[in-house]
Chains A and B, each alone.
Chain A
Amino acid sequence: MRLHELVDTVTADEPPMGRGIDIDGIVSAGRRAERRRKGGFAMGGAAVLVAVVTAGAFALPSHDTTTATTTATAAAETSSPFSFTFGAYDAGRLHVQNPTDVSGAYQVATIKIDDAPSNAYGSLTVYQRGAFNEASLANATTVSVNGQTVLQASLLADSKPRTGDKAIAWQHADGAWAVVKAFSTDADNPSFADLTALIAGLEPNSSPNPAVLPFTMGYLPAGYTAVDVAEHSLPGWDSVTGSDASVYGGAIFARNAPATGLSDPYLDLPGSFTITVSSLAESAQKPPPIDAAHKCTDADAATFCTYSIITGTTLLSVTGNLPIAEKTRVAKSIKLADLTDEATWTPASKLLQP
């Protein structure tokens, strides 16, 4: 018997698709998820490009560890190398913004593009030494730009190049990569030349700028640490599209996070959960239902249930792979700062406060 026959026989009792899995239902739920990720706030029309930078001259400060014992049963520490080591700069019609997302392995900044299609966006990610896997840029070609070796590649979908979506990567120090990814419906706007113009302008700050968050938390499940924090954007991979006036900040917590072999910022780390704080004030969308939290039960897959607290126009969400009781406990332990006054925000290294 062949394996295909075995599988087909074993699954011959497959019931018809249930109502929860029809395509229209998935698309509708996906739209709601997209709105929730953006705090119910539609993205602005300005074209944005995101970039990631790695180690070397941009080395992050050593871990600053803060330990807080929150209860007798749950003690945790936040290991926090969370500082930004480069800032905004311009290169032609591309404008790198201040980085908004940082982990122990990378920092992420969005990039605005003048005169680009309205739905174009992108990012610059600066990785720590050894963090980026350059082989992840499939079919990249090597070019020389002012003596600098640069990888450039079209981004793929199902192994086929996606028109307009492209990336460049270069080492600003040995083994330390900076990666620019751009997504556009126009095949040559931005062009590879536009992207490579960014290389010369990337320089480290004179001193690191610690990331701050608009909340503190009194409880963190044992074994978890903050592994990625974001100011004014969603954390991790979502920071590429989540830099938005409606998002105050957030953090990803996990037991383990890879420090090497990355192709992108963290996305859905196994066993992780994410806290985000966002504004519904200027939303053109309806906020999520006030009773959203009560729809979570232990019978739900823990990964997919979001515990939300809405206070006035502020939405606090805890989502990810935690039992709902733990999500609730985390959410209820959070104290928000004055969201309009960053002076009251807390350095990520001091996130845990009993």
Chain B
Amino acid sequence: MRAADEDAFREFVTSQMASLRKLAYLTCGDWHAAEDAVANALVKLYPRWRKLERPDLYVKTMVYRAAIDETRRPWRRERSAGDAMPEVAVQDSAGATDERLRLKAALDGVPPRQRAAVILRYYLGLSLEDTAQVLGCSLGTAKSQTSRGLAKLRELMAAEKIDLSEGELSHAVA
């Protein structure tokens, strides 16, 4: 890879790393697995960097697939809860922790593929077409996965007496 391309690659990694890690974590529910998925996807991207028209979609696709694979692995499902805990202590009030756990439980109640669709579409701001490409499905399927995931999330949050407001979701179920 040429130096200029490598610089661009580094810039891309710097700008994308955090959101990719969140995409992976929210899909598979494990920070370690999320980190593995992102690192491996970026390593695969490197030799293809200059030849891909949409490296952002490529790497999201790779991260999504790896994260979905993780949700199917028995050793991941059987991991102790401690594996998902923060590696360093963070200041956190009991109330904040409780809210986080309730919201996490609501999010976890959405099937992984639908959850990823919602994150891609409404958290990362992908178009429906790009969401479909990352999920590896048709536009119609991407649309239904997104709307079902959103409906399920709203239902689960309502059970916790939390409203998922419109805002960025206003164009959700077109």
A4 to B118, CA, bound (A): 11
* A27 partner residues in chain B, CB cutoff 8 A: 6, 9-10, 46
State whether the Cβ of A302 lies closer than 8 Å to any Cβ in chain B: yes
Contact of A1 among B25, B75, B86, B162 (CB under 8 A): B162
The reply to whether the CB of A341 lies closer than 8 angstroms to some CB of chain B is no
- The docked-state distance in angstroms from the alpha carbon of A34 to that of B163 is 48
B123 touching A17, Cβ below 8 Å: no
B47→A37 contact, CB < 8 A: yes
**Most chain A C-beta atoms within 10 Å of own C-beta, residue among B53, B92, B123:** B53
Query: A30 to B107, Cβ gap below 8 A?
Result: no
> Quick check: B88 and A16 within 8 Å, CB to CB?
yes
1/0 per position for A1-28, CB-CB distance to B under 8 A?
1111011011111111110110101110
* Residues 12-64 of B contacting A (Cβ, < 8 Å): 13-14, 17, 21-22, 25-26, 31-32, 35-40, 42-48, 50-56, 58, 61-62
The interface size of chain B toward A, counting residues with CB under 8 Å, comes to: 67
Say yes or no: B36 contacts A20, CB within 8 Å.
yes
B80 part of interface (Cβ distance < 8 Å): no
Verify if B168 is at the interface (C-beta below 8 Å from A). yes
Contacts A/B (CB < 8 Å), 8 sampled? A1-B157, A4-B168, A6-B103, A6-B107, A16-B87, A18-B35, A21-B21, A156-B54
A116 to B38, CA, bound (A): 36
Q: In the complex, are the beta carbons of B69 and A34 less than 8 A apart? A: no
Please tell me if the beta carbons of A15 and B168 are within 8 angstroms of each other in the complex.
Answer: no
Nearest Cβ on chain A to B50's Cβ, whole angstroms: 7
A14 in complex: contacting residue of B14, B21, B55, CB < 8 Å:
B21
In the complex, A240 has a CB within 8 A of chain B = yes
Could you say which of A10, A23, A303 has the most chain B C-beta atoms within 10 Å of its C-beta? A10
> How far, in whole Å, are A18 and B86 apart by their CA atoms in the complex?
12
On whether the beta carbons of A17 and B119 are closer than 8 Å, the reply is no
A4 touching B123 in the complex, CB below 8 Å, given contacts A119-B2, A157-B55, A303-B66: yes
Given A15-B88, A18-B35, also A303-B40 (CB < 8 A): yes
Cross-chain contact B51 with A30 (CB below 8 angstroms): no
Q: Among the listed B10, B103, B164, which residue makes an inter-chain contact with A9, where contact means beta carbons less than 8 Å apart?
A: B103
Across the interface, do A156 and B53 meet the contact criterion of CB distance under 8 Å? yes
Please give, as numbers and ranges, the residues of chain A lying within 8 Å of B38 by CB-CB distance: 21
Given contacts A37-B47, A156-B53, A304-B44, contact A23 B168 (CB under 8 A): no
